[in-house]
Amino acid sequence: MNFFGIFIGIATLFVIGLGFVWVIRGERYFGYLWWPYVMGLGILLVVGSLFLANDWASGMVGAIGASLVWGSTEFKEQAVRAELGWFPFREKKILPPGAGTIKKWPAPHL
Amino acid sequence: MSMMELNVTGLAAALAAFLGIWWGHVAVRIIEARLTDIRPAMIIAVLLGLGMWTGALLTSWMPLSAALGIFGVTLLWDGYEFYRQEKRIKIGHAPANPHNPRHARILAAYPSATTVDLLNRDPVGRPVDAEEAARLVAEH
């Protein structure tokens, strides 16, 4: 019996659960235009996981990277949710470098 | 470790997590909108999740065990998401399907329920009231 997969599955559930928290807080204070940076960091983590020999470390870094990529696609809808009053709205955002350019790109959502 | 010995456990975990969350979101929304009773879908999702977990237990290859373990957990969560999606329909946070008799009953019983997907637009950077929210979606 190999319990590795079930344990990493349960750990991933907590990583995804944490995703709800940072997407909500991150959008509130920083705004959805950070999405390319979050997506890029997630992809870097997934690539980095290839170079970790330990299965637990590789698996968790990969799952955290995937959660960052998914979260980056949730930012835009979260910004709309806050505007609708479903979450607290904060007008002042700490914008990312290149915010003007990023705004012209279609923000991903799945 | 040389370049030839890349550990694909993390890549397998990442693909399973991303695709599991993505397809789970899409599948729950589509299936919940069409079913007149969500309970069979909840049971099937849980059984599929437990099936994936059984597979994770039985394989000794770590990347496959990780992928099945993560797919399993997303499917188990999807079982619960059918219930949460119905709650979103009731409060108007997800659009109701008026052609589904269960949703039609929700639309009749809950004034907050709506057929409009209020999230289907770009952010405008300020709070919007109900009237403007509907207009922004219509213009999108």
| Alpha carbons A23 and A102: distance in angstroms, whole number | 18
Kindly determine whether residue A79 and residue B73, on different chains, have CB atoms separated by under 8 Å: no
Torsion angle of the four alpha carbons A64, A69, A73, A75, in this order, in degrees rounded to the nearest 10? 60
Structure token digits, residue B52: 């994936």
Structure token digits, residue B129: 């009231």
In a domain, A77, yes or no: yes
Picking from A19, A105, A104, the residue whose alpha carbon sits closest to that of residue A69 is A19
User: Could you tell me the end-to-end alpha-carbon distance of chain A, in angstroms, rounded to an integer?
Assistant: 36
Provide the pLDDT for residue B22.
Answer: 97
pLDDT band at B4 (very low <50, low <70, confident <90, very high): low
Average pLDDT rounded to a whole number, residues A71-95: 97
For residue A76, pLDDT over 70 is answered with yes
Chain A partners within 8 Å of B126 (Cβ)? 83, 89, 91
Instruction: Tell me the ipTM for this assembly.
Output: 0.96
Q: In the A/B pair of chains, how many CB contacts fall below 8 A?
A: 160
Provide the pLDDT for residue B140.
Answer: 86
- pLDDT tens digits along B72-105: 999 999 999 999 999 999 999 999 999 999 999 9
In a domain, A109, yes or no: no
> Which amino acid, one-letter code, is at B59?
T
| Alpha carbons B11 and B95: distance in angstroms, whole number | 35
| Alpha carbons A71 and A67: distance in angstroms, whole number | 6
CB atoms within 10 A of CB B85: 20
| Alpha carbons A72 and B8: distance in angstroms, whole number | 23
In a domain, A72, yes or no: yes
Kindly determine whether residue A83 and residue B18, on different chains, have CB atoms separated by under 8 Å: no
Q: Where are the domains of chain B?
A: 10-139
Kindly determine whether residue B73 and residue A1, on different chains, have CB atoms separated by under 8 Å: no
Residue with the two structure tokens 């004034």: B111
Average pLDDT rounded to a whole number, residues B5-25: 97
List own/partner pairs for B33-41 with CB under 8 A and 24 or more apart: B33/B96, B33/B97, B33/B100, B33/B103, B34/B97, B34/B100, B35/B100, B35/B102, B36/B100, B36/B101, B36/B102, B37/B102, B38/B82, B38/B83, B38/B86, B38/B102, B41/B82
Provide the pLDDT for residue B118.
Answer: 96
Chain centroid to Cα B48, Å, comes to 15
Q: Supply the mean pLDDT for chain A.
A: 97
In a domain, A99, yes or no: yes
Torsion angle of the four alpha carbons A53, A60, B16, B74, in this order, in degrees rounded to the nearest 10? 150
Kindly determine whether residue A80 and residue B62, on different chains, have CB atoms separated by under 8 Å: no
Provide the pLDDT for residue B2.
Answer: 53
Average pLDDT rounded to a whole number, residues A57-74: 98
For residue B1, pLDDT over 70 is answered with no
Provide the pLDDT for residue B3.
Answer: 54
Q: Give the structural domain span for A19.
A: 4-104
Residue B73: which of A13, A91, A107 has the nearest Cβ? A13
Percent residues over pLDDT 90 in chain B: 95
CB atoms within 10 A of CB A47: 16
Chain A interface, best mutation among B3, B4, B11, by max A CB count within 10 A? B11
Provide the pLDDT for residue B76.
Answer: 98
Provide the pLDDT for residue A110.
Answer: 86
**Cβ-based neighbours of B135, under 8 Å, separated by 6 or more:** none
In a domain, A98, yes or no: yes
Residues B9 and A49 sit within 8 Å (Cβ to Cβ):
yes
Q: How many domains does chain A have?
A: 1
Radius of gyration of chain A from its Cα atoms, rounded to whole angstroms: 16
For residue A72, pLDDT over 60 is answered with yes
Kindly determine whether residue A9 and residue B124, on different chains, have CB atoms separated by under 8 Å: no
pLDDT band at B5 (very low <50, low <70, confident <90, very high): confident
Residue A6: which of B7, B8, B53 has the nearest Cβ? B53
- pLDDT tens digits along A5-50: 999 999 999 999 999 999 999 999 999 999 999 999 999 999 999 9
In a domain, A110, yes or no: no
Average pLDDT rounded to a whole number, residues A77-100: 97
Kindly determine whether residue A2 and residue B7, on different chains, have CB atoms separated by under 8 Å: no
Percent residues over pLDDT 90 in chain A: 99
